[in-house]
């Protein structure tokens, strides 16, 4: 028989999980104001809040940490990381930052000014936050299929090139800070962007004299999907696919906490010295000197190693298969999911799961709370709470997708854990009609409210 794929790693260290009871969870979620971000991690059994910074580093990464060079200027760890970034992206210039949003802050301090427009494919919430904080506007040009959870489109993360061109045509180049394409498209469900789409979006931006930037948090998973799904890439190395993706861009922001499998870190990287020089000043102000900017030497060493491990085919195969395993188990139970399954997460369609809860009562957040109560599974709402209010009208924004994301940390959980998660979701699904009402906001911050919001039940 054909041998099944196994994880290309084994466990060397374990972290115990406390199995809480339902009544403990009932008490804790109340104390947390029904906001899963407020829970302590010991109060969670399976933590699928995010795949960001939650991965397990390898023995090679841990040993690389011991060789970290902690010099303020010119550390060998910086040059090691610079070489890895140059090798995998082709970018000559890079600036370390403490995480992805810090990289966005540095880059947008150069590019984004009040009144600007930043087109892209469903900007991630911190990306949008940085844009709106500067009184600029993030314009979502994702293809319409992304809003349809059942569309089988293989590259649902794609930019709609017509929508993009309309924005580029309608505005002078000076008003457009840059075009930013996020791979994979997290907000649309961890959906990949095809190589041809990246190439064409890049070309279009350049035709209108606008810089083309890649938000590369999950670039390796995107490259894996290109290899699996796009003509002409089946035999290509993941790293070569990644190099080609970056070859169409002028620069990138990276949250290293995802595909580079480190617990903290990020960077910006650039093709041209000009943009790098402008960004350098902001890096020094916000992050630190050019050769460490927000990262210790040991962390840069682990990151350099992680970039290579995260772009290995057997690893990516096992990772993406695990996500699909969870998806197929849940599908077997009839749970409405976003398909095709994303690279880092399974997204439950809360509108279909709880159709009787009106959008004003935040069905996805309601569902996330139920999953926690049922079995201590922590997911995250990707819906109206996260979409926040319109900065001008202050009205709630209700996006097409109202979902609970179950994001899988890298190299952390087994498929037994996935079986447990699927069973938890199934139990809630079986009793969904007993969930009578949703939640309402008791207190919210003026921007990025979902992190700190306080809720109560109707």
Binding site for ligand F0G (CB under 6 A): 50, 52, 99-101, 124, 126-127, 182, 186, 215, 217, 255, 257, 266
Smallest distance, ligand F0G to C-beta of residue 297, A: 19
450 is a catalytic site residue: yes
Choosing from 47, 51, 125, 160, which is the catalytic residue? Answer: 125
Closer by beta carbon to ligand F0G, 89 or else 126: 126
Choosing from 72, 398, 451, 458, which is the catalytic residue? Answer: 72
The interaxial angle of helices 59-66 and 297-309, nearest 10 deg, is 150
Smallest distance, ligand F0G to C-beta of residue 256, A: 7
217 is a catalytic site residue: yes
Smallest distance, ligand F0G to C-beta of residue 170, A: 26
| Cβ 101 vs Cβ 451: under 8 Å | no
Choosing from 78, 93, 94, 124, which is the catalytic residue? Answer: 124
Closer by beta carbon to ligand F0G, 97 or else 330: 97
Hey, how many other C-beta atoms are within 10 angstroms of the C-beta on 25? 20
Closer by beta carbon to ligand F0G, 143 or else 357: 143
Residues 6+ apart with CB under 8 A from 446: none
258 is a catalytic site residue: yes
Smallest distance, ligand F0G to C-beta of residue 124, A: 4
Instruction: Tell which residue, 237, 225, 246, 259, has the closest CA to residue 154.
Output: 225
**Residue 60, phi-psi category: left (phi > 0), alpha (psi -120 to 50), beta (remainder):** alpha
Residues 6+ apart with CB under 8 A from 122: 140, 142, 146, 157, 182, 185, 186, 187, 188
Smallest distance, ligand F0G to C-beta of residue 390, A: 21
Closer by beta carbon to ligand F0G, 37 or else 289: 37
Closer by beta carbon to ligand F0G, 182 or else 194: 182
Gap between the Cα atoms of 267 and 290, Å rounded:
11
Smallest distance, ligand F0G to C-beta of residue 182, A: 5
What distance lies between CA 42 and its chain's CA centroid?
24
Closer by beta carbon to ligand F0G, 195 or else 262: 262
215 is a catalytic site residue: yes
Choosing from 97, 136, 201, 217, which is the catalytic residue? Answer: 217
Residue closest to ligand F0G (Cβ): 100
Gap between the Cα atoms of 385 and 360, Å rounded:
10
Smallest distance, ligand F0G to C-beta of residue 220, A: 13
Between the CA of residue 419 and those of 17, 371, 426, what are the distances in Å? 16, 14, 10
Residue with tokens 């190099």: 243
Choosing from 215, 259, 349, 388, which is the catalytic residue? Answer: 215
- 219-248 burial: b if 16+ Cβ within 10 Å, else e: bbbbbbbbbeebeebeebebbebbbbbbeb
| Cβ 89 vs Cβ 262: under 8 Å | no
Instruction: For Cα atoms 346, 157, 204, give the angle at the middle one, nearest 5 degrees.
Output: 165
Gap between the Cα atoms of 61 and 425, Å rounded:
35
Total residue count of the chain as it appears in this document: 458
Closer by beta carbon to ligand F0G, 215 or else 299: 215
**Residue 171, phi-psi category: left (phi > 0), alpha (psi -120 to 50), beta (remainder):** beta
Catalytic residues: 72, 124-125, 215, 217, 258, 450
């Amino acid at each position: 028989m054909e041998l099944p794929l196994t994880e290309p790693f084994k466990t060397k260290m374990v972290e115990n999980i406390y199995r809480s009871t339902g009544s403990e969870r009932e008490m804790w979620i109340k104390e947390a104001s029904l906001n899963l971000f407020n829970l302590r991690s010991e109060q969670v059994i399976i933590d699928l809040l995010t795949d960001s910074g939650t991965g397990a580093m390898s023995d090679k990464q841990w040993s690389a940490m011991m060789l970290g060079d902690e010099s303020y200027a010119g550390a060998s760890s910086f040059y090691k990381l610079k070489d890895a970034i140059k090798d995998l992206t082709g970018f000559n210039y890079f600036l370390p930052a403490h995480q992805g949003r810090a990289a966005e802050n540095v880059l947008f301090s150069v590019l984004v000014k009040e009144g600007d427009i930043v087109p892209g494919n469903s900007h991630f919430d911190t990306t949008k936050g940085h844009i709106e904080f500067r009184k600029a506007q993030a314009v979502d040009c994702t293809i319409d299929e992304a809003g349809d959870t059942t569309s089988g489109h293989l590259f649902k993360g794609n930019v709609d090139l017509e929508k993009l061109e309309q924005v580029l045509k309608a505005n002078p180049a000076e008003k457009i800070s840059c075009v930013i394409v996020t791979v994979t498209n997290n907000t649309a469900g961890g959906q990949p962007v095809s190589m041809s789409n990246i190439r064409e979006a890049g070309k279009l931006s350049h035709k209108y004299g606008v810089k083309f930037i890649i938000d590369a948090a999950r670039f390796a998973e995107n490259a894996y999907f290109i290899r699996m799904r796009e003509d002409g890439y089946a035999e290509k190395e993941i790293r070569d696919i990644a190099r080609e993706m970056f070859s169409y861009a002028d620069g990138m922001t990276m949250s290293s906490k995802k595909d580079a499998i480190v617990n903290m870190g990020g960077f910006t990287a650039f093709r041209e010295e000009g943009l790098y020089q402008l960004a350098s000043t902001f890096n020094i102000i916000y992050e630190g000197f050019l050769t460490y900017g927000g990262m210790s030497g040991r962390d840069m060493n682990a990151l350099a190693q992680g970039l290579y491990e995260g772009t290995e085919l057997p690893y990516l195969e096992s990772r993406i298969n695990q996500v699909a395993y969870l998806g197929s188990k849940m599908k077997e139970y009839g749970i409405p999911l976003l398909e095709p399954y994303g690279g880092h997460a399974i997204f439950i369609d809360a509108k279909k799961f709880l159709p009787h809860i009106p959008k004003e009562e935040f069905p996805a957040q309601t569902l996330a709370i139920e999953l926690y109560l049922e079995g201590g599974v922590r997911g995250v709402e990707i819906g109206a709470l996260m979409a926040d209010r319109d900065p001008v009208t202050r009205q709630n924004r209700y996006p097409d997708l109202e979902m609970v994301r179950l994001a899988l940390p890298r190299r952390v959980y087994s498929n037994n854990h996935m079986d447990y998660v699927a069973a938890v979701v199934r139990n809630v699904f079986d009793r969904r009609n007993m969930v009578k009402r949703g939640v309402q906001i008791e207190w919210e911050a003026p921007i990025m409210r979902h992190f700190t919001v306080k809720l109560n039940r109707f």
